[in-house]
Amino acid sequence: MRPHRLRRRADAAALVLLVLLPVLWWNPLLRGFLPDFMDTVTQLYPMRVAAAGQIRSGVLPVWLPNIFSGTPLLANPQISVLYPPQFLFYIAPGPLTNGLVCLFHYILGGFGAFFFVRYFGRGATLPALFAALTFQFSAMLVSRIALTPHLYTTVWVPWMLLAVEVAVRERGFLPRRGGVAVACLLALQILAGAPQITYYTAGALALYWLGRGIAESRSSLPRRIGEVLVQGALTAALAFLIAAVQLLPTLEFLGESERSAIALDRLREQGLGGGFTWRALVGFTGATIEDTDSINAIGPGAILLALAALLRPRARRVAIPLWIVSVLAYLLSLGALAGVWARLLPMYESFHAPRRALVLWSICGPLLAGLGAYNLAVVWRARKASRPLFAVLLLVLTAGTWWMLPRLERVFCTPERFAPDPAVADVIGESRFLVIDPTFRYSYDSRRDDYGRSLMADLACWHGTYDVNGYDPLVVRRYAMARDLACLRSGKFYPSHGVFLTDPASPVLALLNARYLVGRFDLFEPGFVIPGTSIDQEAIAASVELVVDDERWPLFRYLDERPLAWTVRRVAPAPSPERALQAAIVNDPFEVAFIEEDLEFSAPPAPPLGATRPDARRFHLEFDEPLERETLAVVSTTWMPGWSARSDTGERLVTLPVDGFLTGVLVPAGARDVTLSYLPASLLRGGALSLAGLLLAGVLWGRRQRKPLEVVEPATPHSSR
């Protein structure tokens, strides 16, 4: 048989293996199970279920009413609403399609690493397979089933590096097919929803592209550097243009959220230090591997082969840029250097856990190891050594990677585990509720036996209920202000995740439209009540009635009226959102409202007002009879730019923030019906820019190609098929 046919068969067998092994390892995902890991079941899966439900109902998934009294959905990057592979989940949402999407990315990552090494080692199937398996089953990639946006974004990087190899052969200052491919892949990574990984990837691509452009230059070096820099900048601009439909709403959301710069001391704590400075590379030797130590390790054998990538000149031209990226990633992850990077790098303080920069090592390390294995294959052939023995040697060297797998968490559960108590869910219906966990032992921890029953956190998205609490690092700043005030007298909360424990008698809960209380309010532990304050258990007991009796999770209904929307008799100005909310809770918020504009008026009692939710992003307000004069209607949903309102006559009405964090509508005289809807203008602008970006990418792709740069290819070993 001809050598090229043998190589094709060997490559095909390797690719089949890269499909079968992930399927075998993650087989529970194909049997209706969910990975019972951290954010996957506590945040990401439920919110994606909510997005899928809206899409299948014909609703644009821009607003999520089920948590935080309403919060942006599409603008939240981690939910990956516009990420193309996620569309399969929208067709048939459930554990199986969730598992198929995850498996697709593991296979995609393996293929990317395989073809990258294969590109430089013609016929080097075994080295490419070694690199692919080392990447595919690295501790980082396997553990990121707990944070699927990290998985989704990481696996695109080998493909980007491969596209850069095409781009460095293209002359001129404008991106051509290689640059367009890089831009499209980077845009996909942006849509995948891990901004921190994209931040590191952008820097890595710049360094790698520049290094490869210099190494392969066959003309004037200054001109070549200029071409690479201009091509890279235009490619990045094209990527951001294509992804603008996600970027613009996300940037608007970030501007309105409480997530801001992280304190330097906190960054130092979340960076590598102590024994983790070497465990992060070699591999932990203790118990379960978590996010805090060695999930980025690739094993000692792979490190040795990564060093071997520097031994031969032709592979060295590729290995040096990869090593530069890897070393820089390691330095970025060190807690001791956090202060230096905070001064040098823009946006560095916006991302927590600097150790996550080591994701670049998790990517570049296996690729370097594959190039090192290719160098070894050349020597092996020259010495006419046994091919099976070479395969055994690679298997031994990859043992460090496989050895870590049993130490990674691998726990699965069925969706039924998170089904709420039917008695509780039926009573609550579409009313808002607040779950109290007096012990506050990580109330968003899915491993707790009572997690599903308590309807905690984002499970409200899953089951179509409405929780005034939630679990998400991104929280609208105005809502966070109300949460903080609710916790002022007593309680604790995790500001980085939104979960809070509050005084059930807080007047803020009335504004949040909390109709039900789940949990025992008489079990507050002293350590979780702010010193100098106390919770009046008798006052709380007098304000609620027991609806469902349960030893651990009783259900109470508040006795006072807590409408979803109401009108006020008087409107008064306030200088800031904080002052507006503080004034609201010391007055009667159902009589007087405080706004941040120089506007003050009084109005006679308005006709009774009813409010319904036609869909996830709309409210319908209906008065019993037409209004006699202008009135301010207040809706208990979080204010964000993007809320608009129209009357039954089609007139566009004024919307504005009320009492610091709620949404108000100025309803004119004569109106009876009002529709309040959420659609951010940034989404429309972003959609137009993305369409323009795709058209521009098509034009650049179709341009006539100039003669590519002459690049000397690595020698092809005849033996390493």
Structure token pair of residue 197: 């990984």
**What is the average pLDDT score of the chain?**
85
Indicate if the alpha-carbon torsion angle 588, 589, 595, 600 is positive or negative: negative
Are the beta carbons of 391 and 327 closer than 8 angstroms?
A: no
The pLDDT tens digits for 251-265 are 999 889 876 567 788
DSSP 134-170: HHHT-HHHHHGGGSHHHHHHHTTHHHHHHHHHHHTT-
Q: For residue 621, what are the β-bridge partners?
A: 611, 674
The whole-number pLDDT of residue 714 equals 46
The whole-number pLDDT of residue 93 equals 93
The pLDDT tens digits for 473-502 are 788 999 988 887 877 555 444 444 544 556
What does the alpha-carbon distance between residue 514 and residue 432 come to, in Å, rounded to a whole number?
Answer: 5
What are the Cα distances from residue 489, in Å, to 437, 515, 529, 637?
A: 17, 21, 8, 23
Pick the residue with more confidence: 470 or 591?
591
The whole-number pLDDT of residue 57 equals 94
pLDDT bracket for residue 123 (50, 70, 90): low
Q: Quick one: average pLDDT of 385-400?
A: 84
pLDDT at 448 over 80: no
Q: Quick one: average pLDDT of 135-156?
A: 90
What does the alpha-carbon distance between residue 151 and residue 143 come to, in Å, rounded to a whole number?
Answer: 9
Q: Quick one: average pLDDT of 521-538?
A: 63
What does the alpha-carbon distance between residue 389 and residue 132 come to, in Å, rounded to a whole number?
Answer: 20
SS3 44: helix
What does the alpha-carbon distance between residue 714 and residue 127 come to, in Å, rounded to a whole number?
Answer: 14
The whole-number pLDDT of residue 498 equals 47
pLDDT bracket for residue 533 (50, 70, 90): low
The pLDDT tens digits for 321-363 are 999 999 999 999 998 999 999 999 988 888 878 888 989 999 9
Are the beta carbons of 87 and 132 closer than 8 angstroms?
A: no
Mapped to the 3 state alphabet, what secondary structure does 397-421 carry?
Answer: HCHHHHHHHHHCCCCEECHHHHCCC
Q: Can you tell me which residue has the tokens 């919770």?
A: 535
What does the alpha-carbon distance between residue 512 and residue 510 come to, in Å, rounded to a whole number?
Answer: 5
The whole-number pLDDT of residue 711 equals 47
- Give the orientation angle of helix 681-702 with respect to helix 244-256, to 10 degrees: 150
pLDDT bracket for residue 54 (50, 70, 90): very high
Backbone phi and psi for residue 508, each to the nearest 5 degrees, phi listed first: -65, -35
Are the beta carbons of 139 and 296 closer than 8 angstroms?
A: yes
pLDDT at 280 over 90: no
Most confident of 341-350, 443-452, 549-558, 612-621: 612-621
The whole-number pLDDT of residue 481 equals 86
pLDDT at 29 over 50: yes
pLDDT at 471 over 80: no
Q: Quick one: average pLDDT of 174-200?
A: 95
Nearest CA to 200 out of 257, 140, 142, 125 is that of 140
pLDDT bracket for residue 270 (50, 70, 90): confident
The whole-number pLDDT of residue 707 equals 57
Indicate if the alpha-carbon torsion angle 307, 157, 279, 404 is positive or negative: negative
pLDDT at 451 over 60: no
pLDDT bracket for residue 22 (50, 70, 90): very high
Most confident of 5-9, 51-55, 459-463, 626-630: 51-55
The whole-number pLDDT of residue 462 equals 82
The whole-number pLDDT of residue 472 equals 76
What does the alpha-carbon distance between residue 285 and residue 280 come to, in Å, rounded to a whole number?
Answer: 11
Please state the domain extents for the chain.
Answer: 32-94+415-561, 107-249+267-408, 565-681
Most confident of 218-232, 233-247, 562-576, 600-614: 233-247
Buried b (16+ CB within 10 A) or exposed e, 675-696: bbbbebebbeebbebbeebeeb
The whole-number pLDDT of residue 314 equals 85
The whole-number pLDDT of residue 452 equals 56
Are the beta carbons of 415 and 294 closer than 8 angstroms?
A: no
Contacts for 395-398: CB closer than 8 Å, 24+ residues apart: 396/301, 397/130, 397/301, 397/302, 397/304, 397/305, 397/369, 397/373, 398/130, 398/133, 398/134, 398/299, 398/301, 398/302
The whole-number pLDDT of residue 94 equals 92
Cβ atoms within 10 Å of 607's Cβ, excluding its own: 14
pLDDT bracket for residue 443 (50, 70, 90): very low
The whole-number pLDDT of residue 534 equals 66
Q: Quick one: average pLDDT of 660-668?
A: 94
Those residues whose C-beta lies under 8 Å from the C-beta of residue 702, and which sit 6 or more positions away, are none
The pLDDT tens digits for 589-637 are 889 999 998 888 887 888 889 999 999 999 999 999 999 889 999 999 9
Nearest CA to 428 out of 360, 359, 540, 515 is that of 515
User: H helices within 26-94, ranges in order?
Assistant: 38-39, 45-56, 87-91
Torsion, CA 71, CA 76, CA 79, CA 85, rounded to 10: 130
The pLDDT tens digits for 406-429 are 767 677 888 877 777 788 888 888
pLDDT at 704 over 70: no
